[in-house]
Amino acid sequence: MERTIRILLQTTTPGGRDDWSVESLSLLTGHLSSLRENGTRFDVTARNREPISGGDDPVLVSLDRSSFDELWLFALDTGEGLTPADCLGITRFRQRGGGILAARDHQDMGVSLCALSGIGAAHHFKTKNPERDPDRLTSDDRGTPSICWPNYHSGKNGDFHRIARVEPSHPLLRNPDSPTGWVEFFPSHPHEGAVNAPQGNGARVIATGTSLATGRPFNLVVAFESSMDDSGNALGRGVAESSFHHFADYNWDTSRGAPSFVTEPEGQGMRKEPRAVRDIKRYVRNLAFWLAPAA
């Protein structure tokens, strides 16, 4: 019997012609929709935030009552992306076993994630929940002075960088088609955000990068295993990502273009190295299966 896993790709902003939006994730949407494996397929709904009166998003507030199995949440806001009612709907969704990926970017981009229980605590911003090490409360990337910390420099948009697996290696990073058997490369971005594993949440860092600007290591991915909360709910799995640019069209293929405010020099590594493209697509495939509730 065929199994259909329903994924909601959702941004925390309404989007716009000259801004990041769910339309900037069309390659991701297409790749997820194309996956067919062992009788499993993925039905993908991609939407920007569409607030109704009071500011709530009608899909997020009722997410726990929806047919979705996974929420891939791309936090593109700088403070007002999620209302308390949105967060409650998302929390209840995870309490009923739904899987969640939460991705943000530099400085305070995606700061509304702090209002989410569990996964929200994995994200560090400049004005909320900053990193505990005071030595990290400074700019890593200095090439774009208008962007402040956290802003870890993994490379040019359009290039790729080599990631480091944190042992024991997590199944999210397996790639049987790679010479090493693992995902080795992620798309680069000049100013990634900061994530870490909060204590007592069944979470751990599974992948790190190294800044090309300072040589400093930084966390890329935090994975949350399914666990029981204080009310006895079996929480769905979760993933916190340091940057939504791991999934953006522009970072997979710069010919797709970017908003006009993106002025940093482009790289061409992703277009020239097929292994890097295969790695990120395999990682996306792994996420889609791993986040899904047990059949």
The pLDDT tens digits for 125-156 are 999 999 999 999 999 999 999 999 999 999 99
* Alpha-carbon gap, residue 95 to 110, rounded angstroms: 22
In a domain, 92, yes or no: yes
* Six-digit token string for 97: 């076993």
* Alpha-carbon gap, residue 116 to 123, rounded angstroms: 10
The pLDDT of residue 53: 80
Model confidence at 264: pLDDT above 80: yes
The pLDDT tens digits for 48-78 are 999 998 899 999 999 999 999 999 999 999 9
The pLDDT tens digits for 10-33 are 999 998 889 999 999 999 999 999
* Six-digit token string for 201: 């949440």
In a domain, 234, yes or no: yes
Q: Are 246 and 287 in contact (CB under 8 A)?
A: no
Percent helix, percent strand, percent coil in the chain, to nearest 5? 25, 25, 50
In a domain, 83, yes or no: yes
In a domain, 79, yes or no: yes
Amino acid identity for residue 26 in this structure? S
* Alpha-carbon gap, residue 67 to 185, rounded angstroms: 33
The answer to whether the pTM exceeds 0.85 is yes
ω into residue 168 within 30 of 0, thus cis? Answer: yes
Number of separate domains in the chain: 1
pLDDT classification of 201: cutoffs 50, 70, 90: confident
The pLDDT tens digits for 212-226 are 999 999 999 999 999
The pLDDT of residue 109: 98
* Alpha-carbon gap, residue 229 to 60, rounded angstroms: 21
- Across the range 153-176, mean pLDDT stands at 98
CATH of the domain at 78: 3.40.50.880
Amino acid identity for residue 145 in this structure? P
* Six-digit token string for 107: 């400085």
- Across the range 97-125, mean pLDDT stands at 97
The pLDDT of residue 190: 98
Q: How many CB atoms lie within 10 A of CB 58?
A: 12
In a domain, 116, yes or no: yes
Model confidence at 108: pLDDT above 90: yes
Q: What stretch of H or E contains 277?
A: helix 274-290
In a domain, 295, yes or no: no
In a domain, 120, yes or no: yes
- Across the range 157-173, mean pLDDT stands at 98
Q: What percent of the chain has pLDDT over 70?
A: 100
Domain, as residue range, for 61 = 3-290
In a domain, 183, yes or no: yes
